[in-house]
Amino acid sequence: MEHRNLDRDQPLSGRDRKDKPIPVGEAVEMGVIKSLINARNWDGLRDYLVENLPIAEIADLLSDLDKGDRVLVFRVLPREIAAEVFAYLEPFEQDDLLRDLTDEEARHIMANLAPDDRTELLEELPAQVTARLLEQLSPEDLEEVRWLLGYPEKSVGRLMTPDYLSVPPDWTVGQALDHVRRWGRDSETASIIYVVDSAGKLIGAVSLRQLVLETPESKIGDIMKTSVISVNAFDDRRKAYELMQRYGLWVLPVTDSEGVLLGIVTGDDVLEVATERITEDFHKSAGVSPIRVSLADASPLVLYRSRVLWLVLLSLMYLLSGGVMSSFEGAIASTISLVFFLPLILDCAGNAGSQSAVLVLRDIGVGDVTFHDWPKVFVRELAVSSIIGLIVGALVMGVGTVSQGVDIGVVVGIAMFFSVVTVSCLGAMVPFALMKLGWDPASASSPLVASIADILGVIIYFFTAKVYLGM
């Protein structure tokens, strides 16, 4: 869960630095805090934390304290700061902390959390804890929570916050600035003010900079930007990330199907989406189903389920590879020296295919290529892999000729060329094929491509030997 205050430049949360050595400065801070706790100097502890440490650093220190001290330190924090610190903690830390807080303390935390932080918290906590927290909400906050949770999981609606600034087009700049001064503190950001019509539809946007530089009598409708990039509340949250990345946006308005402005998504929201996406793609590239929790918190059953499917499927593919090899048993028996070069060909082809798949996946991930670009990508990969295949093929042909004779050298060189070219082109096309089938292109993992390379490499190698050597 990420902190939402856009007006502060905070360092990274302690979750990004766990299990790393504590810097000297932080060690000193920890020593001061422990001494204040031991002395029961609660006023001094509160003053030290508030006056000397950013919000994120307080959260880091809480993570490093034992459970008993963590509760004590948290309780001395002012309520608003406590809510901000709470938003930085990991879900399991939040769960542990909530179990030790009174209902009144939990109510204040929930009341001071940003709406999107509150929604995310309720999504991640155990059901019994969520039920307890819902009981602590005011009727207005409870209605807001139910509204946000009513959107599908992983949708933009779950990610957005309804705390934004909007004005009608017939207002003057002076009126708009007065509105910002009155409501800006309660908004997620005051840098962008959206313009809506009488029906609440998004029709434009103005920046705070524009308002400051314009004359107070100017009409909002005359200075607003009408081409506003927005996202639908029911869209997958990855679309919000892609739009913000493509257009360099920090804030993205969220609308319904009729264009009515519902809320906004900010950069810190999509950073979490980007992290999830990178993590999922990383897992898939290793043949592991996405894991939604940290490795330290994952149960053996979760880890088993995430890995067993791909291992079974890849094992079946390797059995197929073994079956293909057995069909060339005669060729292997007649020229045993062929086996010496088989691992080299399979490994080189597999590496080439994995490289191609990774390059294509990257371009697909950032939106540089679409499905319709596959012919261009294929031609490019064919040209590049042919050059690589010629170089590598010539190299192994020389080695084979010197060590095993001309015939073996020629077979190895030809097989290497065609294996590299075939598997490279296949590795580049697999992500497009998965896109066509409606599957995640990241499933074109290195283990999958390597397994296909083994099968094709064996076929190409021994077929070449059979034809050239007449076996």
| CATH for 408 | 1.10.357.20
295 in any annotated domain = no
421 with 333, same domain? yes
**Is position 191 within any domain?**
yes
Task: Please report, for residues 19, 27, 81, 444, the alpha-carbon distance to residue 60 in angstroms, rounded to integers and kept in the order given.
Answer: 12, 12, 14, 37
Sheet with 231-232: strands ordered across: 231-232, 251-255, 261-266
- 98 located within any domain: yes
**Positions of the chain with pLDDT under 50:** 1-25, 287, 295, 304
Other Cβ atoms within 10 Å of 316 Cβ, number: 11
Q: What is the pLDDT of residues 155-208, one digit of tens each?
A: 888 888 888 999 999 999 999 999 999 998 888 888 999 999 999 999 999 999
pLDDT of residue 1: 40
Tokens 């434009």 sit at which residue?
204
Model pLDDT, residue 299: 56
| Residues 390, 351 share a domain | yes
pLDDT the model gives residue 3? 39
The answer to whether the CB of 416 falls within 8 A of the CB of 424 is: no
pTM of this structure: 0.53
Statement to judge: residues 197 and 146 lie in one domain: no
Say if residue 322 is in the same domain as residue 457.
Answer: yes
Instruction: Please report, for the domain that includes residue 190, its CATH number.
Output: 3.10.580.10
Domain match, 184 and 50 both: no
Domain that holds residue 462: 311-469
How far apart, in whole angstroms, are the C-alpha atoms of residue 48 and residue 416? 67
Q: Are residues 189 and 126 in the same domain?
A: no
Question: Do 440 and 411 share a structural domain?
Answer: yes
- The reply to whether 57 falls in a domain is yes
pLDDT of residue 335: 61
Q: Average model confidence (pLDDT) for the chain?
A: 78
The pLDDT value given to residue 318: 58
Q: Are residues 136 and 179 in the same domain?
A: no
Residues 110 and 194 in one domain: no
Instruction: Please state the domain count of the chain.
Output: 3
Nearest to 451 by CA among 325, 326, 315: 315
Other beta carbons within 10 Å of 168: 14
**132 and 177 assigned to the same domain:** no
Q: What is the pLDDT of residues 389-422, one digit of tens each?
A: 999 999 999 988 888 888 888 988 999 999 999 9
Whether 441 is covered by a domain: the verdict is yes
| Angle of CA points 336, 340, 343, to nearest 5° | 130
Q: Is residue 437 part of a domain?
A: yes
Let me know whether 203 and 139 are in one domain.
no
The CATH number of the domain holding residue 59 is 1.25.60.10
| Cβ neighbourhood burial of 167 (10 Å; 0-12, 13-18, 19+) | buried
pLDDT at residue number 211: 94
Among 123, 150, 177, identify where a domain stops.
Answer: 150
Domain C-terminal end among 99, 122, 150: 150
State whether 100 and 18 are in the same domain. yes
Q: Say if 107 falls within a structural domain.
A: yes
Residue 367 included in any domain: yes
